[in-house]
A and B are shown apart, each in its own frame.
Chain A
Amino acid sequence: MDEALNFHYDVDGENFTSAGNASVQVKRKLRQLGFPPELIKRVSIAMYEGEINMVIHANGGKADVLVTPEVITIVLADEGPGIADVALAMREGYSTAPDNVRSLGFGAGMGLPNMKRYTDSMDIQTKVGVGTTITMTVRVS
């Protein structure tokens, strides 16, 4: 693998049940590329949490995954409502998810904390009323 591979996905905001398709596809591709299982788990869980967030809060968005032999970069961009208080959103257990989402087993306030926990770096660019872009990296050690 001499050059970076780039995978792009449109995350459908209308269809809650298809959320996770992009993460599962990324998981499959990383497995085909021969990355270790623990790294694949970290990347795919961080991406799944981000996907679910975009479906719950932002009516979908775009996901890009850049794969090099050294690092895997995940960029999730949406045009949703933005995050008013990032520090609060990062707190475990804090959630603004509606009841219908909670009844599906989401909305535990663990999404962003899980994304941070499973990645080596996470950057949140957000503006209320404009959208949010989250960039995460996982190093291939």
Chain B
Amino acid sequence: MTVSELALKMNLTPLSLPDGDREINGCYAGDLLSWVMGRARADNLWFTIMNNINVLAVASLADVAAVILAEGVMLGDKEIEAAKAKGINVLTSEKSTFTLCYEAGKLVL
């Protein structure tokens, strides 16, 4: 499934979607950046409530398919511009991390 298809099915709000055709191969959830970098796999969805600029660096380095912000967390304008410039997909939802993982798990895994 691609990031764009998932966004439609899960009603996610895109904040930056430069690569919507990216295929998803699994999921990872976590807010401690080093933990995520060490454990998230390339092409995973990454669920988090962190929204500072370092999230974009970690998303880029870990090569995740998309960052999914839970609990209605938003990116600032500067971060949205940076995400677009770096080609990083970032979407947000009002749902909790658990609910998002549960729903995405049924679709992706």
A contacts, CB < 8 Å to B: 16-17, 19-20, 23-24, 27, 37, 41, 44-45, 48-49, 52, 104-106, 108-111, 113-114, 117-118
Given A108-B35, A114-B37, A114-B38, residue A45 in contact with residue B62 (CB < 8 A): yes
CB distance from B86 to the nearest CB of A (A): 8
Residues in B neighbouring A117, C-beta threshold 8 A: 38
CB distance from B90 to the nearest CB of A (A): 15
Jot down 11 A-B pairs with beta carbons below 8 A, ordered by A.
A17-B53, A37-B42, A45-B38, A48-B58, A104-B33, A104-B52, A105-B52, A108-B32, A108-B33, A110-B37, A110-B38
B contacts, CB < 8 Å to A: 31-35, 37-38, 42, 50, 52-55, 57-58, 60-63, 86
CB distance from A89 to the nearest CB of B (A): 13
CA distance A17 to B76 in the complex (A): 13
Say which residue of A106, A110, A111 sits within 8 Å of B54 (CB atoms): A106
Contact B54 A17, beta carbon cutoff 8 Å: yes
Contact A41 B57, beta carbon cutoff 8 Å: no
Among all A-B residue pairs, the 9 with the closest Cβ atoms = A110-B34, A20-B57, A108-B32, A105-B33, A105-B50, A17-B53, A114-B38, A108-B34, A44-B61
CB distance from B96 to the nearest CB of A (A): 18
CA distance A111 to B34 in the complex (A): 6
Given A23-B61, A48-B37, A48-B57, residue A17 in contact with residue B32 (CB < 8 A): no
